[in-house]
Chain A
Amino acid sequence: MEKHMAVCPYCGTGCKLNLLVEGGKVVGAEPLNGVTNEGELCLKGYFGYDFINDTKLLTPRLRNPMLRRSRDAAFEAVSWDEAIQYAAKKLGEIKAKYGPDSIMTTGSSRGTGNETNYVMQKFTRAVLGTNNVDNCARVCHGPSVAGLQVTLGNGAMSNSIPEIEHTKCVLVFGYNVADSHPVIAKRIIKAKERGAKIIVCDPRKIETARLADLWLPLNNGSNMALVNAFANVLINEGLYNKEYVASHTEGFDEYKKIVDKYTPEYAAAITGLPADDIREAMRIYAAAPSATILWGMGVTQWSQGVDVVKGLSGLALLTGNLGRPNVGVGPVRGQNNVQGSCDMGVLPTEFPGYQKVTDPEIREKFAKAWGVDSLPGEIGYRLTDVPHLAETGKLKAMYVMGEDPAQTEPDLTQVRKGFEAMEFVIVQDIFMTKTAMFADLILPATSWGEHEGVFSAADRSFQRFTKAVDAKGDVKHDWEIISLLATAMGYPMHYNNTKEIWDELRELCPIFYGVTYEKMEGLGAVPWPCRDLDSAGSKYLYEGNVFQRPGGKGLLFATEWRPPQDQLTEEFPLILCTVREVGHYSCRSMTGNCAALQTLADEPGYVTINPKDAKALGIRDQELVWVSSRRGKVITRASVTDRTNKGAVYMTYQWWIGACNELTIHAVDPIAKTPEYKYAAVRVEAIADQIWAENYVQQEYAKLKGGLSNAVTGAAKKAPAYA
């Protein structure tokens, strides 16, 4: 049996593991003693590898480039040569006719790795000539990046994952750590065993709430009011660190003025929490010699996400919980490499290494290195703008790599209209996805396990992963495909391996310069910034309390609470909040093809509902129900549980039949453009004829799976030469 070192392709914990290979097939996974996982894995790490083997449980692996010359035609398998020439010609024509800004690309925060993302943004900027490149961080931690960059100067987790177990207080805000990052949950359990106090702010009784010293079940949509009240208590009870505030922060007076109104009593009315619990939380937080704030999508997926992130960083600034070990602010990244795709500049605002596209000197540097006269200086489009831009004719072509917006974006009806309105859509993926069904050209890539590269864990650590098996079928590495396309478009691009790409980008990004492949050999993990070849990287940011802002001080910022956008009415009386669950991941194209994970939970997925709400609606546990909003209607299975608060229902976003994003609203944060996935007004209805409903789900599921798999097998049959 062979063993090949890898980094888990699921969450941002960055667990190191060995893939066990027998006869060219991955047959198992075993944990390694990586820096972030220390010999642990969760069920996805242990049992989430068989999607590589094309199990076809949900959707088939792509084997050949596939093209359809008109939208009503079926896909046909074509040669790489034809596919690349076709793509180059089409993109060239669209660029000539409508200008470079009519084309948009995406990076991928998943299994492909940092090198591919670097190559994708290089292609977008140097070859297409636009900054229209983005990644799915937009729909998750975009607000964390935008918010923290303003207040502290850096959008990432300030401290490392291993430090969590040594902190004396963990404030968990809108973050279901057990379901999102099981191996980080262990760190919190260990911290508690070492005497740390745990405070959890979440409307639901999540696993961490069970072990919390204090659980604040705030009303859905009241985050800003609670964070302001926290600041109010810290200031008015004199719990804040006056010396720290005086020497390391700015904006205190303005800040104090705004939060003054948010007395615990005032916030109690909005949050539904007892005023004394709000006080108690801050007394605990401020008393701890070291305290860490961790947050997730419960903070960011709101139309007021950026403001709340800024507010949370304010609590750390007020109490001096930054710039040293075991403290800090932690936006814990969901997907395994969403930190990486931001690091690599698949963002409309930034080059790799967080260098602004609006800075002429930086543009000059990259233009020179990439051998082009100039690079675009205007900020590009965001992923969430796409449906609107396509419908209004501004966006004509899209090159989607390793993402499935037709599953993961809000208000899917709008998304589909957007794709239909575009002239040319390329989807590059390892699976036939819902988005791929809209494509004109499908480019098949190698999967995690079939290529090597570097991922960034949620705590900024770069780690290498290696190849375990050879890919089957006529597929290529993502970065190879992009290079071929660049070359065909008249910009010769060629790399022999990922190390060449890595070394190119290292030279261009001062904060990554010291992170060499050699340092990341084996179990090596190097957290950026790492500017020198002899540096081991930075476990925590803001050493010496120097913030990466002009003047070096942290900014205290508060703003008024705004109620969520969607309106509850008699017709739509319940709040729908989208969440994730431990056994499945993202759009589910990977985990849905893993037998073990599929065994634990399958279509149509679940809506969790409080027993009181369920009773009033005549719904029993495990029955199929309809959920509808002003935007759509889906069928799903009710899971009646006391852990869900009354008045709200929760759906995980990975189900293809019970697709909650048919229901969600396209109301975005004004700065980060992250959608309000956490608040949509819905109605839940019982279905009298359960037998009909079960059959309906089975039929829909079969239809969907059949459609995806026919698209692939049909194309292969048409052109046997490439099958």
Chain B
Amino acid sequence: MNKFVTANPSKCIGCRTCEIACALAHSEGAGVEGLAPGSFKPRIRMVKTADVSTAVMCHHCEDAPCVNACPNNAIVYRQHSVQVEQERCLGCKNCVLACPFGVMDVVTVPAVRQFAGMTLSLGVKAQAHKCDLCIERGDAGPACVSVCPTSALTLMDREAMDETLRRRRERAALEAAEVAA
């Protein structure tokens, strides 16, 4: 099963700590001082409506619409997650339209190439932009999960999922017993 991060709306307080942590985890070590409104592109977004506050991000679907929609096979299954091979991304936005959760975006970043010790600018490069489960952080795991002050975020893997399901079934059984009584 693919792993994914889930948010519990009854715990989220809409503080956006997760957004900053996510942006920082993908800042190539630039640190907080590299953050600025124009370039702030977290892969997790806090959403606040009249009745709900919660964070939304990629579900790392098992049969992912974005993977299926990509004409250039730029989105792949790797290490129990859905990952984008950025070199192959064309920026066609098929994946953006395919994603039912609105958590895939296409962004442009400055493209550069190293040549004879010099950095050459090659204009811009498109990137399909979404949660990569902080794959680069290795054992440190998802940055958003580690900072959320109310523990509203959890990393779901098979084990965590089984545990949740077990609890749900138990509750269902209890409720059924109550109805019967």
Contact = CB atoms under 8 A, between A and B. Distances in A.
Interface of A: 27-28, 40-43, 46-47, 49-50, 53, 55, 178-179, 182-183, 185-186, 189, 205, 207, 210-211, 582-583, 594-596, 598-600, 602, 641-643
A712 B160 CA distance: 56
Interface string B1-26: 00000000011011111011100100
Contact of B149 (A28, A40, A55, A207): A40
A718 to B, nearest CB: 30
A602 B17 contact: no
A28 B15 contact: no
A599 B33 CA distance: 10
B20 A182 contact: no
A16 to B, nearest CB: 14
Contact of A583 (B16, B37, B150): B16
A596 B24 CA distance: 9
A295 B24 CA distance: 34
A207 B40 contact: no
A580 to B, nearest CB: 13
Nearest to B46: A600
A46 B13 contact: no
Contacts of B31: 27-28
Contacts of A599: 20, 35-37, 40
B147 interface: yes
A43 B33 contact: no
Contacts of B34: 595
Contacts of B149: 40-42, 182-183, 185-186
Given A40-B149, A43-B20, A600-B20, A595 B35 contact: yes
B92 interface: no
B172 interface: no
Contacts of B111: none
Given A55-B33, A596-B35, A642 B50 contact: yes
B89 to A, nearest CB: 25
5 contacts: A189-B150, A207-B13, A210-B10, A599-B36, A602-B37
Nearest to B50: A642
Contacts of B40: 599-600
A207 B32 contact: no
B108 interface: no
B174 to A, nearest CB: 16
B53 A210 contact: yes
A46 B15 contact: no
A582 B50 CA distance: 18
B51 interface: yes
B16 A186 contact: no
Contacts of A28: 31
A-B pairs, top 5 by smallest CB distance, nearest first, are A642-B50, A178-B13, A43-B17, A186-B150, A599-B35
Contacts of B37: 598-599, 602
Given A28-B31, A46-B17, A210-B51, A186 B151 contact: yes
A42 B53 contact: no
Contacts of A40: 149-150
A599 B20 CA distance: 9
Contacts of B53: 207, 210
Given A27-B31, A599-B37, A43 B51 contact: no
A643 B147 CA distance: 26
Contacts of B36: 595, 599
B15 A582 contact: yes
A582 B18 CA distance: 13
Contacts of B50: 205, 641-643
Given A53-B33, A595-B35, 7 more contacts: A47-B17, A50-B32, A185-B149, A582-B14, A595-B36, A596-B20, A599-B20
Contacts of A183: 149
A179 to B, nearest CB: 8
Nearest to B31: A27
Nearest to A211: B10
B38 to A, nearest CB: 9
Contacts of A189: 10-11, 150
A415 B23 CA distance: 40
A104 to B, nearest CB: 37
B13 A182 contact: yes
Contacts of A210: 10, 51-53
A717 B138 CA distance: 50
B165 to A, nearest CB: 19
B149 to A, nearest CB: 5
A185 B13 CA distance: 8
A252 B85 CA distance: 73
B150 A182 contact: yes
A210 B9 CA distance: 10
A625 B51 CA distance: 26
A600 B24 CA distance: 13
B16 A600 contact: yes
A182 B10 CA distance: 14
Contacts of B33: 50, 53, 55, 595
Residue among A49, A53, A189, A602 with the most chain B CB within 10 A?
A: A189
A602 B38 CA distance: 12
Contacts of B15: 42-43, 178-179, 182, 582-583
A695 B149 CA distance: 37
Contact of A43 (B11, B16, B49, B151): B16
Interface in B26-77: 31-37, 40, 48-53
Contacts of A178: 13-15
A189 B33 CA distance: 32
A594 B32 contact: yes
A46 B16 CA distance: 12
Contacts of A582: 13-16
Indicate the member of B16, B21, B49, B150 with the most A CB atoms within 10 Å: B150
A24 to B, nearest CB: 15
Contacts of B21: 46
A42 B17 contact: yes
Nearest to B53: A207
A185 B150 contact: yes
Nearest to B147: A46
Contacts of A43: 15-17, 20, 147
Nearest to A43: B17
A55 B34 CA distance: 11
Nearest to B8: A189
**Residue with the highest number of chain B CB atoms closer than 10 Å, among A41, A183, A643:** A643
Contacts of A641: 48, 50
A709 B123 CA distance: 35
Interface string B139-176: 00000000101110000000000000000000000000
B10 A207 contact: no
B48 to A, nearest CB: 8
B94 to A, nearest CB: 29
A596 B32 contact: yes
Q: Which of A43, A49, A183 neighbours the largest number of chain B CB atoms within 10 Å of its CB?
A: A43
Which of B16, B34, B36, B53 lies at the interface centre, i.e. has the most chain A CB atoms within 10 A of its CB? B16
